[in-house]
Structure 1
Amino acid sequence: MNVKGIHHLSAMTGDAPGNFKFYTEVLGMRLIKKTVNQDDTSAYHLFYGDERGNPGTELTFFDFPGIGPTRAGASSISGTSLRVPSDTALKYWLDRFTEHGVKHTAITEFAGRNVIFFEDPEGQQLSLVSDETNSGVKGGIPWDQSPVPAEFGIIGLGPVKLTVRKPDSTLAALKLIGFTEKNRIPALVKGQEDIIVMQVGAGGSGAEVQVEPRSDLSVAALGKGGVHHVAFRVDDKEELLSWIEVLNKAGLRNSGFVERYYFRSLYFREPNGILFELATDGPGFDTDEPFETLGESLALPPFLEDQRQSIEANLRPLSTKRTV
């Protein structure tokens, strides 16, 4: 049993067309799957990633038109980072963000790496983190048809920041699935405790969680611009089933085995209320679509295919077919 790092992050949007435009045209990620939220098929589920949507590169969004904005606070996934290959790449992104009117900071150092903090159009708190001195979990491969040159392109998910009122219980949940403490860094807010940096597997940016204690905050309210859950990588279904036994023994209520078709899942909430997922590395996103046309059509897993007509009738039109 070996949790290997971050698998994906799932966030919220109220504007699927605008979300698609920003993440593909500005950030240069590839939409590798346009499908639906399997628990609410009236909502799109959009998956962005590297050229194939390899595990550890996927940033996904549930689309709920009209949803209100997230209210920042505790018991939340408060920071999402995306890896780029080098410090030189960060300099490229400064110019690109200025060109596209993206709200961003200068290059700064955080948790031992050079980063740029920025926001998407709905206020999601993001950062680009340089892999210049990174080791551990390898990054992905940028799509060769991205508007961003490959040498500067996003290669996967970096450290995830969790903001909680009671860090010890969150740390215990992370330790249960294999995380160990790497180090601690000074708090971002005066009077608060240091941020605890946790890592798993081979370590590095793709396997790091930063736990930020914040006793001064009320509980967050999830909306557009917020993050719904974070998923961690496991090898296969057999390992996933073993983790169910571990969670049950620890007294953590969980979903049990969930078939997502593109991967298999197990969900549970750590004691501060943040939703964690364990997800298998396969089968992958080219299971039902050719690599060349990933994300261009609405893909449905076999168990939803007989509902396609009614599902499509309840979705807003969203054109993702490439025209070039």
Structure 2
Amino acid sequence: MNVKGIHHLSAMTGNVQGNFKFYTEVLGMRLIKKTVNQDDTTAYHLFYGDERGNPGTELTFFDFPGIGPTKAGVSSISGTSLRVASDEALRYWTERFTAHGVKHSPVTEFAGRNVIFFEDPEGQQLALVSDETNEGVAAGTPWDRSPVPEASAITGLGPVKLTVRKPESTVAVLGLLGFKETRRVPALAEGQADIIVMQVGEGGTGAEVQIEPRSDLSAATPGKGGVHHVAFRVEDKEELLAWIDILNQMKLPNSGFVERYYFRSLYFREPNGILFELATDGPGFDTDEPFETLGESLALPPFLEHQRKSIEANLKPLDTKRNSWIDD
């Protein structure tokens, strides 16, 4: 009963059109689902990923127009990594980021891998991490119509960084999920404790969480450029139901079973207040759209389809049909 790795990560944007442009045109990820936040159907929920949106490749965004910027602090998911195949790919990205005016660091070594730290247009803290020496959870398959060459393309989610005041509590909950500490690395902030690196299952970049203890920060304020939650992979519905029993036995408050149609979920907060989700590997994102046109139209799960007219009336138009840049 261990989770298998990272399933997806959900962040927030205040500019859905700009978000779509950056993540598809600059980062070259595929929009594999344009749907709505099932808990607030006035907001888009965009899913980016590899060619099919395989588990472990999905970076998603809730669109909240007018939301203020996030304020960094504890009790937050403070860093999101995206995998690329090699150190050579990082050299490609250094040039691409410069050409597109993306704020970024040089290639640097962190936690035993070469990385580039960068920001999206709303200040989300991101990193590209090289899989040059990686062993563990397999990467995804880049979309062959991406504007980024396949050898340099983003192949999935890498390590997720959690910033907390009391790391022992987060370590304990991750331990319950099957994570084990693999090493500690020097803090990014002067005078702070080492970052605790934990991995689960097959390990590697697709199954790693980095816990950053910070005693010098107040609580984060959520907003655009911030992360809402991180989801971890479980095999299927039966395993998810077993996890509900485990959390109830541990007296950890949770959502119980949640039907998301494209996957099934369970939500709970670890003691430092960060929202965790457990999500099943299936059914997947091509259950209601052809593979060739994923993300081009507004997709709604069957239980929201009867509200389509009113939902579409409350959404700002967003054209996600494949434009000419795909073939350039």
Tell me which interval the TM-score lies in, with the shorter structure as reference length: over 0.9
Measured after TM superposition, the shift of residue 294 of structure 1 is 0.0
Distance 2:165 2:113 in 1: 26
Letter in 2 for 1:112: G
* TM superposition score normalised by structure 2: 0.98
* 2:55 is aligned with 1:55: yes
Distance 2:186 2:125 in 1: 19
* 2:191 is aligned with 1:186: no
Partner of residue 10, structure 2 = 10
Aligned residues: CA RMSD: 0.5
Distance 2:250 2:323 in 1: 51
Partner of residue 198, structure 1 = 198
Distance 2:44 2:33 in 1: 10
Distance 1:272 1:285 in 2: 32
Partner of residue 139, structure 2 = 139
Letter in 2 for 1:105: S
* TM superposition score normalised by structure 1: 0.99
Secondary structure, counterpart of 1:267 in structure 2: strand
Secondary structure, counterpart of 2:321 in structure 1: coil
Partner of residue 29, structure 2 = 29
1:205-284 equivalences in 2 (<5 Å) = 205-284=205-284
Measured after TM superposition, the shift of residue 168 of structure 1 is 0.4
Secondary structure, counterpart of 1:292 in structure 2: helix
Secondary structure, counterpart of 1:159 in structure 2: strand
Partner of residue 109, structure 1 = 109
Partner of residue 89, structure 1 = 89
Distance 1:306 1:321 in 2: 24
Shift >2 Å, 4+ stretches: none
Residue identity (%): 82
- List per-residue Cα deviations over 1:4-25 (Å, max 9, x = no partner): 0000000000000000000000
Secondary structure, counterpart of 2:142 in structure 1: coil
Distance 1:12 1:156 in 2: 19
Distance 1:307 1:321 in 2: 23
Distance 1:283 1:150 in 2: 26
Measured after TM superposition, the shift of residue 192 of structure 1 is 1.0
Partner of residue 311, structure 1 = 311
Partner of residue 123, structure 1 = 123
Distance 1:33 1:254 in 2: 26
Measured after TM superposition, the shift of residue 191 of structure 1 is 1.6
Letter in 1 for 2:72: A
Q: What is the count of residue pairs matched by the alignment? A: 324
Measured after TM superposition, the shift of residue 249 of structure 1 is 1.1
Partner of residue 150, structure 1 = 150
Measured after TM superposition, the shift of residue 2 of structure 1 is 2.9
Q: Which 5+ residue runs of structure 1 have no aligned equivalent?
A: none
Distance 2:10 2:78 in 1: 12
Measured after TM superposition, the shift of residue 126 of structure 1 is 0.1
Secondary structure, counterpart of 2:102 in structure 1: coil
Measured after TM superposition, the shift of residue 251 of structure 1 is 1.3
Secondary structure, counterpart of 2:238 in structure 1: helix
Measured after TM superposition, the shift of residue 132 of structure 1 is 0.1
1:156-175 equivalences in 2 (<5 Å) = 156-175=156-175
Distance 1:315 1:7 in 2: 27
Distance 1:208 1:177 in 2: 12
Letter in 1 for 2:267: Y
- List per-residue Cα deviations over 1:172-224 (Å, max 9, x = no partner): 11001111111100111122111000000000000000000001100000000
Distance 1:222 1:280 in 2: 26
Distance 1:251 1:186 in 2: 34
Measured after TM superposition, the shift of residue 292 of structure 1 is 0.0
Secondary structure, counterpart of 1:116 in structure 2: strand
Measured after TM superposition, the shift of residue 304 of structure 1 is 0.0
Distance 1:130 1:292 in 2: 29
- List per-residue Cα deviations over 1:150-181 (Å, max 9, x = no partner): 00000000000000000000001100111111
Measured after TM superposition, the shift of residue 322 of structure 1 is 1.2
Range 154-163 or range 245-254, more displaced: 245-254
- List per-residue Cα deviations over 1:23-52 (Å, max 9, x = no partner): 000000000000000000000000000000
Distance 2:103 2:194 in 1: 27
Q: Which 5+ residue runs of structure 2 have no aligned equivalent?
A: none
Measured after TM superposition, the shift of residue 127 of structure 1 is 0.3
Measured after TM superposition, the shift of residue 323 of structure 1 is 3.5
